[in-house]
Structure 1
Amino acid sequence: MKAAQITSFGAPDVLRVVEIDRPAPGAGEVLVRVEAASVNGHDTIVRAGGLKMVSGRTFPIGVGLDFTGAVVTTGFGVEDYRAGDRVWGMVHPRQRHTVAGAAEYVVVAADRISPAPAGVSAVEAASLVVAGSTALIALRDSVGLAEGERVLVRGAAGGVGTAAVQLAHAMGGHVTALARDRHAEALGALGADVVLDHSTTTPDQIGPFDVIVDTVGSELARYRRRLTKGGRMVTIALSGPALAAIAVSSVHGSRRIRTFSANPGYAVLDDLADHVTSGALRPVVHSVYPLTDIAVAHEAFERGGVLGKHVIAV
């Protein structure tokens, strides 16, 4: 089978698609024939060597956090899935993998998958696994968005951003999207009540907001000051300056900046599928690449500036 692997830490050109033996599921595991995977920040950080404590320093390292596909076979003790079941899921982000989602087959624990939502293709579903679950956990669990609250989504055109705009709208929030001006019409169609150009809008010009969802990681202290009393802010960008702002916010004042590691199991994926099936959450796919072009997909991801997700069709 073909699988994408990291051969050394570095730029996208360290990625290789190689032929290896198909893995077999152990007890409590499922073998999935992968149809699509998406490119996520976690993938590029691992590839660049930013998560060596997790990935280790022994090569090759598998790449691809999420996937959609069909069950091939199950290991001992797995009773909820049968061959042919269509599923989506993700490998564990804090475990080392020599084969991950960007491969023709992947083995995962049965509690890391869930039935894929009906009505969307494998490519479309793959665009939502990590992005959608991250947005759902951020809004529902981390900040507890309530109906009628004012929400700012920074980096609204990215994978997590487009999902957060839609879910915040579905939860009854009044949504302001901060993104490139050329994405204004598309973000409005996704549910944003207001779309502001990030290149010309400063934090001092907007707000106040009850909730801020940040995917950028810069100027967090300035945006934190735009929260209402009792307002909540969550960021998924964990750069050095972002970590410093999070630490300061936990000591000074009530407007704490929250963060989390999105590591959804089947329960979150089930809830996410319900949002997709109901039409509250739609996939936003910017581009699709074959597995053999995964390095090109990583390059495109790191350039940024797109609307939605880069997806790998396997």
Structure 2
Amino acid sequence: MKAAQITSFGTPDVLRVTETDRPSPGAGEVLVAVEASSVNGHDAIVRAGGLRMVSGRKFPIGVGLDFAGVVVTTGPGVEGHRAGDRVWGMVHPRQRHTVAAAAEYVVVPAERIAPAPAGVPAVEAASLVVAGSTALIALRDSVQLKDGERVLVRGAAGGVGTAAVQLARALGGRVTALARDRHAALLRDLGADEVLDYGTTTPDRIGPFDVVVDTVGSELNRYRGRLAKGGRMVTIALSPPALAAIAASTVHGARRIRAFSANPGSAVLAELAGYVTSGALRPVVQGVYPLADVAAAHEAFERGGVMGKHVLAVSR
């Protein structure tokens, strides 16, 4: 089978699509024929060598976190999934993978997949797995968004940002999106009550907010300062400056900056599918690339300035 792999740490040109053996599922595992996988920040960090404690230094290293596809076969002890089921899921982000989700086939534990939302093409479904689950966990669990609260989403045009705008609205939030002005119309269509141009809007001119969801990682303390009494802030950015700001904010108690690494299981994925099926969450796909063009997809991701996700379409 074909699989996208990292051949050394570096820029996107270290990615290669190689021939490798098709894996077989063990006890409690499922073999999935991958139809699509999206490009995520985690992939770029692993590729650049920023997570060597997890990925190790032995090459090749698999790339790709999330996928949508079809169950081929199951290992012993698996219940609730059978060949032909359409599923979506995610490999474990804190484990080494020689073959990951950007491949023709992937093996994952059964508790890391769930039925994909019915009627949604694989490319669109794959764009929502990491982005949607991250936004859902951030809003529901980390900051516990309540009905009627004022929410600021920084980096609202990105994959997590577009999902956060929609899910915050679905959870009853009054949403302000901070993004490039050219994305304003689509963000309003996704549910933002207000869209602010991040190029001309400074933190001291906005707020206060009950909740801040950050996907950017810069100026975290300035945005934390825009929280109302009882406000909460969460960031998905885990760069060294962001980690320093998170550590320094602990003195502020409930108004500290929260952080987490999304690692959804079947229950979260099933809940996410419900939001898609109901129409509360819809995919935003910027570009679709064949698996052979994985390096080009990573290059486009790193250029930024886009609306939504870059997705790899896998064909056999």
TM over 0.5: yes
Aligned equivalent of 1:221: 221
Aligned equivalent of 1:13: 13
Cα offset for 1:101?
Answer: 0.4
Please say if 1:41 is aligned against 2:49: no
Please say if 1:257 is aligned against 2:268: no
Superposition pairs of residues 141-156 of structure 1, within 5 angstroms: 141-156=141-156
In structure 1, list runs of 5 or more residues that go unmatched: none
CA distance in 2, matches of 1:252, 1:231: 11
Aligned equivalent of 1:78: 78
DSSP-derived class of the 1:251 partner = helix
Aligned equivalent of 1:94: 94
Cα offset for 1:239?
Answer: 1.2
Task: String of CA shifts for 1:140-196, please: whole Å, max 9, x gaps.
Answer: 000000010000000000000000000001111100000000000000000000000
Percent identity between the aligned chains? 83
Aligned equivalent of 2:274: 274
Comparing 246-255 and 43-52, the one that deviates more: 246-255
Amino acid at match of 1:313: A
Amino acid at match of 1:267: A
Task: String of CA shifts for 1:185-234, please: whole Å, max 9, x gaps.
Answer: 00000000000000000000000000000000000000011000110000
Cα offset for 1:95?
Answer: 0.6
Cα offset for 1:119?
Answer: 2.3
Aligned equivalent of 2:193: 193
CA distance in 2, matches of 1:192, 1:299: 29
Please say if 1:134 is aligned against 2:134: yes
Cα offset for 1:240?
Answer: 1.4
TM-score normalised according to structure 1 size: 0.99
DSSP-derived class of the 1:250 partner = helix
Task: String of CA shifts for 1:6-29, please: whole Å, max 9, x gaps.
Answer: 000000000000111111001110
Please say if 1:234 is aligned against 2:234: yes
Cα offset for 1:249?
Answer: 1.1
Aligned equivalent of 2:28: 28
**RMSD (Å) for aligned C-alpha atoms:** 0.6
TM-score normalised according to structure 2 size: 0.99
Aligned equivalent of 1:169: 169
* Number of matched pairs: 314
In structure 2, list runs of 5 or more residues that go unmatched: none
Runs of 4+ more than 6 Å apart: none
Superposition pairs of residues 287-302 of structure 1, within 5 angstroms: 287-302=287-302
DSSP-derived class of the 2:168 partner = helix
Cα offset for 1:253?
Answer: 5.2
DSSP-derived class of the 2:243 partner = helix
CA distance in 2, matches of 1:192, 1:157: 11
Amino acid at match of 2:169: H
